[in-house]
Chain A
Amino acid sequence: MSANTPTVSKTAEPLPPPTERYSVVRWLHKNLFSTWYNALLTVVMLALAALLVRGVLEWALTQARWEVISANLRLFMVGQYPVTALWRIWACVALLAFLIGMSWGIWGRMQRGGAVAFGALPFILAIITSDEPSRVALVITGIAGIVGYALSWRWGAVVQRVSIIGWILYFPILFVLVSGLDAADSVLPPVPTNLWGGLLLTLLLTVVGIVFSFPLGVLLALGRQSKLPVINWLCVIYIELIRGVPFISVLFMAQLMLPLFLPGITIDRVVRAMAGVIIFSAAYLAENVRGGLQSIPRGQHEAARALGLSPWQTTLLIVLPQALRAVIPILVGQFIALFKDTSLVVIVGLLDLMGIARTVLAQPDFLGLQAEVYTFVAFVYGVFCYLMSAFSQRLEAHLHIGR
Chain B
Amino acid sequence: MEAPPRPTSPLRLSRAFWRDERFIQIAVQVLFLALVIWIGSVALRNMFTSLQQQGLALGFDFLRSGAGFDISDALIAYSSSDTFARALQVGLINTILVSFLGIVLSTLLGIVVGVARLSSNWLVNRMAWVFVEIMRNVPLLVLLVFIYTAFFLKLPRARQAVSIGPVYLSNRGVAAPWGEPTDTWSLYLSVLAGALIAGVLAGFAMRWWQERSGRPRPLVWPPLLTMAVIAIAGWVVLPQPPLTISYPEIAGFNFQGGKVLSPEFMALLIGLVIYTAGFIGEVVRAGIQAVPKGQVEAARALGLTPLRTLRLVVFPQALRLIIPPMTNQYLNLTKNSTLAVAIGYPDLFAISGTIINQTGRAVEMIAVVMGVYLILSLLTSLIMNWYNRRVRLVER
Contact = CB atoms under 8 A, between A and B. Distances in A.
Q: Do A and B bind each other?
A: yes
Nearest to B25: A228
Given A228-B28, A260-B363, A249 B370 contact: yes
A249 B373 contact: yes
A247 B47 CA distance: 22
B121 A260 contact: no
Contact of A245 (B43, B137, B143, B335): B335
Nearest to B134: A382
B337 to A, nearest CB: 8
A124 B277 CA distance: 37
Given A31-B122, A370-B146, A261 B141 contact: no
Contact of A374 (B29, B50, B149, B349): B149
Interface in A377-403: 377-378, 381-382, 385-386, 389
A256 interface: yes
Interface of B: 25, 28-30, 32-33, 36, 43, 46-47, 49-51, 120-124, 127, 133-134, 136-143, 145-146, 149-150, 153-154, 335-336, 338-339, 341-342, 349, 353, 356, 362-363, 366, 369-370, 373-374, 377-378
B373 A245 contact: yes
B114 to A, nearest CB: 16
A32 B124 CA distance: 9
A46 B142 CA distance: 28
12 contacts: A38-B120, A46-B123, A48-B127, A246-B338, A249-B349, A252-B366, A257-B47, A341-B139, A343-B142, A347-B341, A381-B137, A386-B133
A42 B146 contact: no
A143 B168 CA distance: 57
A294 to B, nearest CB: 14
Contacts, number: 148
B342 A346 contact: yes
Given A49-B123, A262-B46, A347 B342 contact: yes
B32 A234 contact: yes
Contact of B146 (A230, A247, A259, A378): A378
A194 interface: no
A38 B32 contact: no
B366 A260 contact: no
A371 interface: yes
Contacts of A136: none
A31 B366 contact: no
Contacts of A31: 120-122
Interface string A253-267: 100110111110000
Contacts of A354: 139, 141-142, 145
A375 interface: yes
A241 B374 contact: yes
B29 A375 contact: no
B28 A34 contact: no
B29 A371 contact: no
Contacts of B369: 245, 249
A41 to B, nearest CB: 6
Given A31-B122, A246-B349, A368-B154, 5 more contacts: A256-B362, A263-B50, A371-B146, A378-B146, A381-B142
Interface in A36-64: 38, 41-42, 45-46, 48-49
A344 interface: yes
A244 interface: yes
Given A249-B373, A385-B137, A374 B146 contact: yes
A256 B139 CA distance: 24
Given A38-B121, A248-B341, A374-B149, A382 B50 contact: no
Interface string A160-180: 000000000000000000000
A229 B136 CA distance: 38
A83 B127 CA distance: 43
B246 to A, nearest CB: 33
A249 B339 CA distance: 10
B196 to A, nearest CB: 33
Given A234-B32, A246-B336, A260-B363, A374 B150 contact: yes
A249 B143 contact: no
B141 A228 contact: no
A45 B374 contact: no
A234 B373 CA distance: 20
Contacts of A253: 366, 370
Contact of B150 (A46, A241, A341, A370): A370
Contact of A344 (B36, B149, B339): B339
A269 interface: no
Contacts of A370: 145-146, 149-150, 153-154
A364 B144 CA distance: 23
A229 B142 CA distance: 43
Contacts of A248: 338-339, 341, 349
Contacts of A260: 46-47, 50-51, 362-363
A230 B26 CA distance: 9
A344 B140 CA distance: 9
A263 B48 CA distance: 10
Given A46-B123, A261-B46, A244 B377 contact: yes
Contact of A261 (B25, B36, B43): B43
Contacts of B366: 249, 252-253, 256-257
Interface in A253-298: 253, 256-257, 259-263
Interface in A355-378: 368, 370-371, 374-375, 377-378
A128 B183 CA distance: 70
A340 interface: yes
A178 to B, nearest CB: 23
Contacts of A377: 142
A216 interface: no
Given A38-B121, A41-B124, A263-B50, A257 B363 contact: yes
B46 A41 contact: no
B33 A230 contact: yes
Of residues A41, A49, A260, A386, which shows the largest number of chain B Cβ atoms within 10 Å of its Cβ? Answer: A260
A363 to B, nearest CB: 15
Q: Point out which of B120, B124, B139, B140 has the most chain A C-beta atoms below 10 A from its C-beta.
A: B139
A231 interface: yes
A34 B121 CA distance: 8
Contact of B121 (A42, A244, A245, A261): A42
Contacts of B30: 230
A259 B362 CA distance: 12
**Which of B124, B133, B141, B378 gathers most chain A CB within 10 Å?**
B141
A41 B121 contact: yes
A246 B141 contact: no
A167 B292 CA distance: 42
Contacts of A46: 123
B21 to A, nearest CB: 10
A246 B127 CA distance: 31
A386 B28 CA distance: 44
A133 B136 CA distance: 35
Contacts of B336: 246
A265 to B, nearest CB: 10
